[in-house]
Amino acid sequence: MRLLLVEDDHALAESLGQRLRAEGFAVDIAGNGVDAEHLGREEAYDVAVLDLGLPKKSGVEVLGSWRAAGRDFPVLVLTARDAWQDKIAAFKLGADDYVTKPFHDEEVIVRLQALIRRAHGRARPVIESHGLVLDEDDQSLRLPDGTQTQLTAMEYRLLHYFMLNEGKVLSKSRLAEHLYEYDDERDSNVIEVYINRLRQLIGRERITTRRGQGYVYGGPA
């Protein structure tokens, strides 16, 4: 899952960004409203955390601009304790949830996970699919024989994205857009390497190749 974190408090952005990366998100950070507006309109985010008090352009304006451009990823806004008018303005423009500062990172994380689940029509924090059980909380995978495996960050990001998009053809470029951060080098050969690693783990037949199109995750044939 690719996440845009918009926060002008540099220390807060860095520490929250680290926590989010540890939870399996690919995180881009914007420190002002203009950069945030641009990134949110141009890049393929799955979710965003948006501070409302920003330099150059307010969070409310940024959100309005994203929505006007048809960007419909879930947005969690960060607000000051007494800023109830901002909160209402943000919801009217299409915010999905909010957290009041100061907050515990854990609360932001569980709210983001819930937003992503709901965006994919799911209610539970585990994804079960054809005998595989992927746990969002500790990024572990249970195989059909009951073996529990701890996934690496990239394995988790990739499998999570496949499982949320079961049956869809996912091109390498789409996978790269949703799995890598802005500054990462997007080498599509590396994605192939990770896909082969996942196939070894869960069985080759679960991720099929559509020549010239991409990959499809599904159950064993």
Binding site for Ca ion (CB under 5 A): 8, 51, 53
- In the chain, the amino acid numbered 202 is I
Give the C-alpha separation, 124 to 121, whole Å: 10
Which residues are 97's β-sheet partners? 76
The SS3 call for residue 79 is strand
Residue 99: CB minimum distance to Ca ion, A: 13
Q: Please identify, using beta-carbon distances, which residue of 8 and 181 lies nearer to Ca ion.
A: 8
Give the C-alpha separation, 118 to 29, whole Å: 24
Q: What is each CA distance from 61 to 55, 94, 186, in whole angstroms? A: 11, 11, 31
Q: What is each CA distance from 150 to 116, 140, 141, 184, in whole angstroms? A: 22, 5, 6, 24
Taking every pair of Cα atoms in the chain, the longest distance, rounded to a whole number of angstroms, is 56
Residue 59: CB minimum distance to Ca ion, A: 8
Q: What is each CA distance from 58 to 2, 8, 14, 39, 217, in whole angstroms? A: 22, 11, 20, 15, 40
13 within 8 A of 4, measured Cβ to Cβ: no
The SS3 call for residue 218 is coil
Q: Please identify, using beta-carbon distances, which residue of 28 and 51 lies nearer to Ca ion.
A: 51
Q: Please identify, using beta-carbon distances, which residue of 80 and 153 lies nearer to Ca ion.
A: 80
Residue 49: CB minimum distance to Ca ion, A: 12
Residue 78: CB minimum distance to Ca ion, A: 8
Residue 53: CB minimum distance to Ca ion, A: 4
Closest by Cα among 120, 116, 118, 218 to 170 = 218
Q: Please identify, using beta-carbon distances, which residue of 19 and 56 lies nearer to Ca ion.
A: 56
Residue 80: CB minimum distance to Ca ion, A: 8
Give the C-alpha separation, 64 to 151, whole Å: 37
Q: Please identify, using beta-carbon distances, which residue of 24 and 33 lies nearer to Ca ion.
A: 33
Q: Please identify, using beta-carbon distances, which residue of 108 and 114 lies nearer to Ca ion.
A: 108
Residue 144: CB minimum distance to Ca ion, A: 47
- Using Cβ positions, the residue closest to Ca ion within the complex turns out to be 53
Q: Please identify, using beta-carbon distances, which residue of 46 and 51 lies nearer to Ca ion.
A: 51
